[in-house]
Each structure stands twice: as structure tokens, then as C-alpha cells.
Structure 1
Amino acid sequence: MNDTDAIDLALFVFRCGLGAVMLAHGINHIWGGGKIEGTAGWFGSMGMKPPLVQAWLASLTEIGAGIALVLGLLTPLGGAGLVGTMTVAFVINHRGNGFFIFRPGEGWEYVMTLALCGMVIGAIGPGGWSLDRAFGIEDDLIGWTGLALSAGAGLVGAGLLLATCWRPPPPKTAD
């Protein structure tokens, strides 16, 4: 084993961990608890319109990003899915709750960390143990290109989604 093997192993574990988190989120939104209808109700309560479409869009993005990251296939696009969904989660649910996840309403440390990880994996690439490497496309997708794809597509996608589909509910007033 050499240093390259250690880096490839670390990137493989990192990618699979991120991918597993995204897969778990997407699968849970569709089949867990209240199923997709419950997710749609929750999204609707936060002002996402139309809520069922948004629930499916978020869930399928999380699943697609998770698969891309686990396989190391078009890795910056998997990173973009992570950046985009976590940016939307930050804006519509977490930003007003403080930094720490254990605060009431769940703070934003978790979604920030995942979004940053999506940007990082896009820039540094999936490593040698990936389909990007097997298909010979890894070198075309790392560095500035990977960062632009993961951060740019994620943030632009989130911004467009929020601008067109998010109508925050009015603030709750004390009775």
C-alpha cells in the first residue's frame, strides 16, 4: 500500500458516507414515517409550492446524489445535489434556529457541514476507486471545474427553486 491507496480509500469512505446519508434522507422522505405524503405536508407547512412536487423533487435529488456519490459517477453533480438540497433546507427550515443541531427546531450546523462536503468532494474528486476514474472522466471533473459544478449548480439550483417555489408562511404571532 502506498499514499495514493490511502487517499483513494479515504475518498471512497468519505464518498460512501456522504452518499449513504443522502440515500437515507431520500428513502426516508418517500417510505419512512409519513411517507411522501407526510413529507409533502411538512414541505407545504414551510411554504414550498406545490408541496407534493417539491417532496418528490427533494427526495429523488437526494437519492440520485447519494447513488452518484457512492459510485463516484459524475461526482461533482452528486456534490451539487448535496449542496442544493442542504442550501434549501438551511433557508426554509434551519437558519433561524441557531448554529447547533441540538437546539430547538434544529440549528444549521448539520446542513452547512453537508453542503461544504458536497463542494469539497466536487473539487477534489472521487479518487481512484470510482466510476469517474474507470470511465476516464475524473481529470475533466476535478479542480475548478468540479468546484464550479458542485457549488455553482447546487447554489444556482437552490436559488432558482427558492425564488420560484418558496412562499414563506407568515410569522406566527403570540396570542
Structure 2
Amino acid sequence: MANSSPTLTAAPHSAPPHAYDAGLLVLRLVLGLTIAAHGSQKLFGWFDGGGIDGTGQFFSSLGYPSGRTMAVIAGLSESLGGLGLVLGLLTPLAGAAVAGTMINVVWIEKGHGLVGGYEFPLLILAGAAALALAGPGRFAVDRMLPFLRAHRLLHGGAALALAAVFALSTLLLRN
């Protein structure tokens, strides 16, 4: 009796699975290290950053209540989210932490227009959301965690929805 189940074959021009994994690794490393550096500016003043006090004053000037607390939240979201992306650790949550912060940045920068305004945070937002949805690829710590070994689109979608709720709530708190 012939096998009646359809066989899946790769499209003639599709990349092999390891190529996708390598591409996701490159995206995770560049995006994660970039945003972790921005977080360290806020938390520690590294890379000519303002530290918690300077960033807190800046956030207060933008109308955020308790600017110092918001600086800590943004700094931790960027630093821990970025490092999570680098390692491929809890990738849906790491991507959502970065995306949620970038929603606020895009909103604040929208008055400056796309070029010279919000194009960089929008690119980071899109990359973080893509990683949250697609997963970290094969070269990631998540592959060792039983509940995230097989990345589920639902995990990424739920994490991004939660990030959007928190980001929009934060924007509503502004004066």
C-alpha cells in the first residue's frame, strides 16, 4: 500500500534550516547588544549615558511621573531584554521587554518624523517583535528549556500583547 500522507519538501530556492538559525543568531546578537548598551547608559551611565539620575530628569521633562523610577524600568527592560535576546533566553519575554520600551520611544519621537526621528527605535521594535514571534532559532538557551524548546507563535504573540498593554498604560500616565 502506498503512503497516502503528503511529504513535505523544501522549495527549490529555500535556505537550509541552519541558514535561518544563523540569520536569527546574527539578528539576536546585533539587536540584543545594541539595546543592552542603551540600557546600560540609563542604569550605569556607561557609553556617555545619563545614568539613573540624568535619565530620570530627562523622563520627567517628557512628562513621565517619577522619572527616576521610569529610568530604572526602561534601563532594566533594555538591558535584561537585550541580554535575553543575545542568549536566546526566554526570547518571547525578552523581545516583548524591548518592544514595549520601543513603543514608548516611537511615540515620543513621532513628532520628529521618520528620518532623524523614530526610524531607529522603529527598527529595534520590529526586530524585537520578529524575534518574539519567530523564536530564537536553534543556537539559543531556549532550546534547553522544555517549555520553550519548540517555540510557539502563541508565546510570542501573548508576550507582545502584554508589552503593548504595559507600554500604552505607561504612555497614558504621562502629563
TM-score bracket, shorter-length normalisation: 0.7 to 0.9
Larger Rg: 2
CA-atom RMSD in angstroms:
1.6
2:109 match: 94
1:76 match: 92
Cα pair 1:122 1:142 within 8 Å, conserved: no
1:172 match: none
Cα pair 2:143 2:150 within 8 Å, conserved: no
Partner amino acid, structure 1, of 2:174 = W
1:158 match: 167
Normalising by structure 1, we get a TM-score of 0.84
2:7 match: none
2:135 match: 125
Cα pair 1:125 1:138 within 8 Å, conserved: no
User: Stretches of 4+ moved more than 4 A in 1?
Assistant: none
Unaligned regions of 5+ residues in structure 1, if any? 102-106, 168-175
- Residue 36 (structure 1) aligned with residue 52 (structure 2): yes
Quote how far apart the aligned CAs of 1:3 are.
1.6
Unaligned regions of 5+ residues in structure 2, if any? 1-14
Give aligned-pair identity as a percent.
32
Normalising by structure 2, we get a TM-score of 0.84
- 1:114-169: CA deviations, max 9, x gaps? 111111111110000111112233355432331332x2122111012222x311xx
Relative to structure 1, is the Cα distance of residues 31 and 139 closer, same or farther in structure 2, using a 3 angstrom cutoff?
Answer: closer
